[in-house]
């Protein structure tokens, strides 16, 4: 039996664990404040809060309920717009009303829930963060200026929080209702019980942000192997110079990981290019690899880092290189009963350079036309090893072995970069599609590779490369 708390009510249900949370909320619980816009994670109208106990603390994040299986809600606190109503308007609703930040109102519950999630985050509340919190919400009528003003005014309230616990502060300041104060205790009690129905299957599910877009009609009937909440697949840890990432770690986990923040100074820039806050909270690294999209951002980053995957079929484990995982379009070196347990890679040395670039039709919430990553190790002025990857330029995510080999032993000069680009062009095979023509993708990759060098070697006389 699946058990979780929905707003202030404990849900116990025998409904199929693959059923979508959005459908349970609207059609089983008749909570119709949560809206259905796209059912593909794009619009944010279905945003809910997901509260769970992590390291002894109750933490909230946002998720799109149109892509979340109820099996991934077990033992958690799910909050819809109805769950943050108080007598009269709450502080976020007041800010929206005052600024006229709602017109038809269809998107408004999603925006309000996203800002409620922002108010429960323990990081310092800044205006920039409030805007980030809403980057997965789309409004088709008001224009965004009034919404931004409402967010600004609301952030000023949060600015008075000082050291108080976010949940307590939010209750005291009429942002959320008082029942939130008892949720931690209730969840601890609930988690002492079995909250997940006994299901097992080879249809492995991470966050569902790919599977529920592709197969939302059939997923509820599948025998699902739920991986998202498996403790042994969580965590990002450093052992000497090696980083190990659990197969169910999310993009959001990477964004806040001290290891990644230390070794990848431009991490924030890369993460901002990946989907939206809600999707990043759900999207796992292993899901990104296994959906085998030729333009998966995490895949491209980890190809350049020469990541290794530990596959587990429940009885035996084997470790392979991510570079050898892709056998053809959507064909993997993975048996049906194998799941990715762990991803590991050698962390960049202090003198190494790493960079990731992506071009998409929209800057945010869009998959790439072409993306690319590079890792370069230097000995003095000479490249001692290089690893370049590229997405959107062939049927599989590409590790550019010829280009990478060419660079080794070379100095970073405009002539060598031009030669590298010629080699790279001969090892890619982009096709014309909705994301651009073949010629455009070829041009994009050359420009992205030039951008890698310009950003990685700011002191070298190569800064005019992009104009060449
Ligand atoms: C609105 C939106 C925006 C997006 N934007 C981006 C973007 O900017 N960049 C990008 O790269 N992607 C993007 N995506 C795609 C998607 O979010 C990512 O690919 C994500 O990482 C998939 O992870 P998941 O856990 O949700 O996968 P799921 O949907 O749960 O699973 C995807 C596949 O992986 C398999 N799988 C999951 N976990 C494991 C495991 N541990 N072992 C073996 N197999 C496993 C599943 O069986 C399935 O085949 C976007 C998706 C949406 C809906
Ligand atoms: S309905 Fe659009 S994101 Fe869920
Ligand atoms: S107010 Fe109509 S879509 Fe936002």
The string of DSSP letters for 55-89 reads: TTEEEEEEEEGGG-BGGGSTTSEEE-GGGG--SS-
> Does residue 62 sit in the same domain as residue 44?
yes
Q: Do 210 and 295 fall into the same domain? A: no
C-beta of residue 413 within 8 angstroms of C-beta of residue 344: no
What is d(CA 388, CA 263) in angstroms, rounded to the nearest whole number?
18
My answer on whether 99 and 237 are in the same domain is no
Kindly list the protein residues whose Cβ atom lies closer than 6 A to any atom of ligand 1. 40-42, 204-211, 213, 227, 247, 274-275, 279, 282-284, 286-288, 290-291, 296-298, 339-340, 365, 367
pLDDT, residue 434, reads 86
Contact indicator for 297, 269 with CB cutoff of 8 Å: no
Residue 298: name the closest of 402, 207, 377 by CA: 207
Q: Are strands 224-226 and 203-205 parallel, antiparallel or unpaired?
A: parallel
Predicted local distance difference test score (pLDDT) of residue 197: 63
- Main-chain dihedrals φ then ψ at residue 346, nearest 5 degrees: -80, 125
Assess whether the C-beta atom of 106 lies below 6 angstroms from ligand 3.
yes
Total tally of structural domains belonging to the chain: 4
pLDDT value, residue 196:
73
Q: How far apart are CA 71 and CA 69, in angstroms?
A: 5
Instruction: Find out whether the beta carbon of 100 lies less than 6 Å from any atom of ligand 3.
Output: no
Can you tell me whether residue 436 is helix, strand or coil? strand
CB of 138 sitting under 6 A from ligand 2: no
The pair phi, psi for residue 252, each rounded to 5°, is -65, -35
Evaluate: CB of 142 within 6 angstroms of ligand 3: yes
Identify whether residues 312 and 365 lie together within a single domain: no
Element (H, E) at 357: strand 353-359
40 CA to centre of own chain? 15
Token reading at 465:
């490369």
Q: Whose CA is nearest to atom 2 of ligand 3?
A: 104
- Ligand 1 atom with the smallest distance to the CA of 284 is 25
Q: Is 342 in the pocket of ligand 2 (CB under 6 A)?
A: no
Q: Where in the sequence is the domain holding 65, given as residue range(s)?
A: 2-84+179-224
Q: Is the CB of 107 under 6 A from ligand 3?
A: yes
Which atom of ligand 3 sits closest to the CA of residue 140? 3
In this structure, the residue with its CA closest to atom 49 of ligand 1 is 291
Residues 396 and 455 in one domain: yes
Q: 174 C-alpha to center of ligand 3: Å?
A: 24
How high is the pLDDT of residue 388?
98
Q: Is the CB of 408 under 6 A from ligand 3?
A: no
Residues pairing with 311 in the sheet: 318, 340
Is 39's C-beta closer than 6 angstroms to any atom of ligand 2? yes
Residue 387 CA to residue 62 CA, distance in Å, equals 35
Cα-to-centroid distance, 116 and ligand 3 (Å):
18
CA 5, CA 10: separation in Å to the nearest integer?
4
Q: Do residues 315 and 377 both lie within one domain? A: no
Q: Residue 302's domain is classified under what CATH number?
A: 3.30.465.10
Residue ranges with strand state E in 360-435 = 370-379, 382-391, 398-399
- Structural domain ending residue among the three candidates 346, 372, 404: 346
Q: Whose CA is nearest to atom 15 of ligand 1?
A: 210
Ligand with an atom nearest the CA of residue 43: 2
Ligand having the closest approach to the CA of 104: 3
What distance in Å separates the CA atoms of residue 167 and residue 51, rounded to the nearest whole number? Answer: 11
* Low-confidence residues in the chain, pLDDT < 50: none
Q: Is-contact 308 321, C-beta < 8 A?
A: yes
Q: Which of 314, 346, 378 marks a domain boundary?
A: 346
Among 283, 275, 286, 285, which Cα is nearest to 208's?
283
Give the domain CATH number at 372: 3.30.390.50
CATH of the domain at 47: 3.10.20.30
Q: Report the residue among 93, 111, 140, 144 best suited for mutation to probe ligand 3: largest number of ligand atoms under 8 A from its CB.
A: 140
150 close to ligand 3 (CB < 6 Angstrom) = no
pLDDT given at position 198: 57
Shared domain check, 284 and 308: yes
User: Given ligand 1 and candidates 137, 224, 279, which is best to mutate, with the most ligand atoms within 8 Å of its CB?
Assistant: 279
Question: Can you name the residues that pair with 373 across neighbouring β-strands?
Answer: 356, 389
The candidate with the shortest Cα–Cα distance to 323, out of 338, 344, 308, is 308
As given in the structure block, the two tokens for residue 363 are: 């800057």
* Ligand 2 center to 403 CA (angstroms): 41
- Same-domain check for residues 317 and 288: yes
Pocket test for ligand 3, best of 43, 81, 104 (most atoms within 8 A of CB): 104
Based on the fold, state whether residues 428 and 364 are members of the same structural domain: yes
Final residue in a domain of this structure, among 330, 346, 362: 346
Q: Give dist(CA 423, CA 119) in Å, integer.
A: 50
Do residues 70 and 190 share a domain? yes
Ligand 2 pocket test: which of 32, 34, 40 has the largest number of ligand atoms within 8 Å of its C-beta? 40
Max CA distance (Å), the chain: 69
Ligand 3 centroid, distance to 160 Cα (angstroms): 30
Residues 371 and 442 in one domain: yes
Q: What are the residues facing 62 on neighbouring strands?
A: 49
Q: What is the pTM of this model?
A: 0.96
365 and 316 within one domain: no
From the CA of 279, how far away is ligand 1's center (Å)? 9
CB-ligand 2 contact for 25 (6 Å cutoff): no
Q: Which atom of ligand 2 is nearest to the CA of 36?
A: 1
**Residue of 288, 351, 354 lying closest to 322 (CA atoms):** 288
Centroid of ligand 2 to alpha carbon of 37 (angstroms) = 5
Substitution candidate for ligand 1 out of 38, 204, 218 with most atoms within 8 A of CB:
204
């Amino acid at each position: 039996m699946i058990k979780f708390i929905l707003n202030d009510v404990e849900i116990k249900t025998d409904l199929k664990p693959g059923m979508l949370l959005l459908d349970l909320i609207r059609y089983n619980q008749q909570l119709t404040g949560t809206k259905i816009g796209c059912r593909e994670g794009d619009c944010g109208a279905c945003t809910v809060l997901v509260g769970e106990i992590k390291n002894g603390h109750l933490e909230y994040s946002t998720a799109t309920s149109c892509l979340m299986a109820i099996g991934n809600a077990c033992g958690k606190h799910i909050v819809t717009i109805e769950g943050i109503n108080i007598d009269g308007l709450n502080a976020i609703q007041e800010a929206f009303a005052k600024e006229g930040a709602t017109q038809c109102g269809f998107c408004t519950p999603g925006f309000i829930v996203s800002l409620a999630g922002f108010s429960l985050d323990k990081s310092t509340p800044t205006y920039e963060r409030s805007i980030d919190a809403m980057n997965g919400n789309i409004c088709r009528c008001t224009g965004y200026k009034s919404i931004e003003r409402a967010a600004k005014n609301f952030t000023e309230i949060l600015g008075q929080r000082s050291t108080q616990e976010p949940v307590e502060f939010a209750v005291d300041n009429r942002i959320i209702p008082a029942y939130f104060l008892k949720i931690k205790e209730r969840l601890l009690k609930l988690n002492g019980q079995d909250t997940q129905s006994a299901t097992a299957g080879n249809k492995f599910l991470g966050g569902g942000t790919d599977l529920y877009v592709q197969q939302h009609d059939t997923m509820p009937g599948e025998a699902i192997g739920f991986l998202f909440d498996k403790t042994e697949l969580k965590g990002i840890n450093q052992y000497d110079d090696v980083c190990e990432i659990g197969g169910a770690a999310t993009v959001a986990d990477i964004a806040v990981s001290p290891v990644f923040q230390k070794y990848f100074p431009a991490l924030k820039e890369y993460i901002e290019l990946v989907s939206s806050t809600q999707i990043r909270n759900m999207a796992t690294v292993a899901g990104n690899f296994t959906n085998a999209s030729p333009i998966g951002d995490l895949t491209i980053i980890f190809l350049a880092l020469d990541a290794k995957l530990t596959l587990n079929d429940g009885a035996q484990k084997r470790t392979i290189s991510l570079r050898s995982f892709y056998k053809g379009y959507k064909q993997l070196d993975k048996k049906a009963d194998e799941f990715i347990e762990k991803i590991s890679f050698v962390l960049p040395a202090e003198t190494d350079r790493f960079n990731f670039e992506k071009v998409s039709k929209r800057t945010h919430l869009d998959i790439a036309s072409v993306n690319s990553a590079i890792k370069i190790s230097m000995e003095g002025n000479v490249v001692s090893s290089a690893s370049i990857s590229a997405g959107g330029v062939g049927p599989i995510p590409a590790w550019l072995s010829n280009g990478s080999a060419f660079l080794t032993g070379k100095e970073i000069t405009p002539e060598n970069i031009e030669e590298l680009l010629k080699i790279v062009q001969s090892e890619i095979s982009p096709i014309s599609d909705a994301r651009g023509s073949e010629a455009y993708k070829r041009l994009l990759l050359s420009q992205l590779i030039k951008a890698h060098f310009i950003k990685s070697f700011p002191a070298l006389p190569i800064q005019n490369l992009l104009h060449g």
